[in-house]
Amino acid sequence: MLKATRTLAILLAAGLGLAAGAAQGAGEAKHPHAPPGGWSFEGMFGHYDKAAVQRGFQIYKEVCAACHGMEYVAIRTLGSPSGPGYSEDEVEAVAAEFRVPAGPDPQTGSLVDDIGLPRLRPALPSDRFTSPYPNDIAARAANGGALPPDLSVIAKAREGGASYIYSLMTGYQEPPPGVTLEAGMHYNPYMAGGQIAMPPQLVPDRVAYEDGTEASVEQMASDIATFLNWAAEPELEFRKKLGFMVISYLAVLSLLVFLAYRRLWRNVGH
């Protein structure tokens, strides 16, 4: 009897595993998770880890920016004290590394150069992290028909936020039995449908961190998720501080009102 029960349990577990794999392959995404230790910016007193935000920007600049823009993020915000906290000179140096549309030629009015490519100029701190492609058609043509999303608010646009980004970047694996991938697709259980056009981008030591941190896949995924969360919520620390001040004020006010009530009505019978 015990042996039969054990066999049944094993078969049931195997069946559930296959069912879960099939479900993810059919469209259900796996629930995202945070890295060990969670996120420094969570909770009432959460704050951004400046070093992590800087490392995350390095990942964006050296890996992500080749395909993804951040149209709603100005380069000058890299000097934010709650974010990367770069100096003015550092921000200008970063801006000079990017190219943005130059607009029409002053003499001819043309938007393209002599060989037909869009006219570009070095970016200024006031510019934004524009898409590396001139339009969506060019973006799809360069990525097998897939359109790389803008990353400005990706941490707010996806359920799970930073945890989704972390899980997605670390979640690439071989497809389970019974799951067939379309041509040019990669299996990732954290993506709806289990298939994603973007190949794995993070491999050990893909970048050489300027602060000497070991560039493991998990570390890089955590850093880029932190940076993109900051890009989507640059005022997070201010809002948390303001919220704490408001709650503290209301708590003190409530206490004063209660004490005043007790004093005014202390001699009145009830």
Q: What is the pLDDT along the chain (270 residues), one digit of tens a residue?
A: 444 445 444 444 444 444 444 445 456 789 999 999 999 999 989 999 999 999 999 999 999 999 999 999 999 999 999 899 999 999 999 999 999 988 787 778 777 777 777 888 999 999 999 999 989 999 999 999 999 999 999 999 999 999 999 999 999 999 999 899 999 899 999 998 999 999 999 999 999 999 999 999 999 999 999 999 999 999 988 888 989 899 999 999 999 999 998 888 877 765
Regarding whether 244 and 199 lie in a shared domain, the answer is: no
The pLDDT of residue 269 is 64
Report yes or no on 54 lying in a domain: yes
* CATH number where 187 lies: 1.10.760.10
Regarding whether 63 and 151 lie in a shared domain, the answer is: yes
What residue numbers bound the domain in which 159 lies? Answer: 25-69+131-232
What does the alpha-carbon distance between residue 89 and residue 71 come to, in Å, rounded to a whole number? 22
Rg (CA), the chain: 26
What does the alpha-carbon distance between residue 215 and residue 237 come to, in Å, rounded to a whole number? 27
Regarding whether 259 and 139 lie in a shared domain, the answer is: no
Regarding whether 151 and 45 lie in a shared domain, the answer is: yes
Regarding whether 177 and 157 lie in a shared domain, the answer is: yes
Q: What is the DSSP string of 135-184?
A: SHHHHHHHTTT--PPP-TTHHHHSTTTHHHHHHHHH---PPPTT--PPTT
What does the alpha-carbon distance between residue 85 and residue 165 come to, in Å, rounded to a whole number? 23
Report yes or no on 118 lying in a domain: no
Residue 101: strand pairing partners: 120
Structure tokens at 223: 């850093």
The pLDDT of residue 270 is 58
Regarding whether 174 and 149 lie in a shared domain, the answer is: yes
Report yes or no on 164 lying in a domain: yes
The pLDDT of residue 9 is 45
**How many structural domains are present in the chain?**
2
Regarding whether 226 and 240 lie in a shared domain, the answer is: no
What does the alpha-carbon distance between residue 129 and residue 226 come to, in Å, rounded to a whole number? 17
Report yes or no on 122 lying in a domain: no
Regarding whether 33 and 137 lie in a shared domain, the answer is: yes
What does the alpha-carbon distance between residue 228 and residue 89 come to, in Å, rounded to a whole number? 23
Regarding whether 226 and 169 lie in a shared domain, the answer is: yes
Report yes or no on 63 lying in a domain: yes
Regarding whether 239 and 194 lie in a shared domain, the answer is: no
Report yes or no on 101 lying in a domain: no
Regarding whether 199 and 163 lie in a shared domain, the answer is: yes
Regarding whether 50 and 169 lie in a shared domain, the answer is: yes
